[in-house]
Structure 1
Amino acid sequence: MRLIASDIDGTILGHDGLISTRTVEAFHAAAEAGIDIVFVTGRPPRWLDPIREQIGHLGTVICSNGAVTYDLGTDKVLASHLLSWDTVEQVKDIVAGLAVEPYFALESLAGLHIEEGFYGARAPAGRAVIVPQVLTADMANGGIIKMLAVLHTGSADEFLELVTPAVGPLLAVTHSAPDLALLEMGPLGVNKAVTLAEYAAARGIDAADVVAFGDMPNDVEMLGWAGAGYAMASGHPQALAAAALQAPRFEDDGVAQVIESRLAALRLA
Structure 2
Amino acid sequence: MHAPFRLVASDIDGTLIRGDGSLSPRTTETLDRLQQRGIPTVLVTGRPVRWLRQLYDQMAEPLPAVCANGAVVYDPDTDEILRAAPLTTELLLDVTERLREAVPDVTLAVEVDDGRSFWYEEKWPLHWDGEHHTVRVLSAPEELTSVPAVKLLARSARHEPDEFAELVSRTLGELATATHSSSSALVEISAAGVTKAAGLAWLCEREGIEAGEVVAFGDMPNDLPLLAWAGRSVAMGNAHPAVKEVADEVGLTNDEDGVAVYLEKLFQL
TM-score of the two chains, using structure 1 as the length reference: 0.91
Q: Which runs of 5+ in 2 are unaligned?
A: none
Distance 1:254 1:54, change over 3 A: same
Quick one: which amino acid aligns to residue 240 of structure 1?
Answer: K
Q: 1:5–1:39: 8 Å Cα contact kept in structure 2? A: yes
1:159 to 2:168 alignment: no
- SS of 2:69's partner is helix
In the other structure, the counterpart of 2:119 is 113
Q: 1:174–1:218: 8 Å Cα contact kept in structure 2? A: yes
- SS of 2:78's partner is coil
Written as runs of structure 1 = structure 2, the 5 A alignment for 1:1-269 is: 1-109=5-113, 110-119=116-125, 123-124=127-128, 128=132, 130-133=135-138, 134-137=140-143, 140-141=146-147, 143-178=148-183, 180-264=184-268
Q: 2:165–2:180: 8 Å Cα contact kept in structure 1? A: yes
- Residue 96 of structure 1: CA displacement? 1.5
Q: For 2:168 and 2:159, how far apart are their aligned partners in 1? A: 13
- SS of 1:54's partner is coil
- Residue 151 of structure 1: CA displacement? 1.0
- SS of 1:51's partner is helix
Q: 2:154–2:186: 8 Å Cα contact kept in structure 1? A: yes
Q: For 1:164 and 1:93, how far apart are their aligned partners in 2? A: 14
Q: 2:6–2:214: 8 Å Cα contact kept in structure 1? A: yes
Distance 1:232 1:248, change over 3 A: same
Distance 1:248 1:15, change over 3 A: closer
Deviations 1:29-84 (A, max 9, x none): 11111101111001111110133211234342100000001111121111100111
Distance 1:154 1:32, change over 3 A: same
- Residue 140 of structure 1: CA displacement? 4.3
Q: For 1:220 and 1:214, how far apart are their aligned partners in 2? A: 8
**CA-atom RMSD, angstroms?**
1.9
Q: 2:110–2:144: 8 Å Cα contact kept in structure 1? A: no
Identity %: 36
Q: For 1:145 and 1:125, how far apart are their aligned partners in 2? A: 17
Q: For 1:169 and 1:83, how far apart are their aligned partners in 2? A: 13
Q: For 2:159 and 2:130, how far apart are their aligned partners in 1? A: 25
- Residue 13 of structure 1: CA displacement? 2.0
Q: For 1:131 and 1:206, how far apart are their aligned partners in 2? A: 40
Q: 2:151–2:189: 8 Å Cα contact kept in structure 1? A: yes
Structure with the larger RCO, 1 or 2 (CA within 8 Å, 6+ apart): 2
Quick one: which amino acid aligns to residue 160 of structure 2?
Answer: S
TM-score of the two chains, using structure 2 as the length reference: 0.91
Equivalences, count:
261
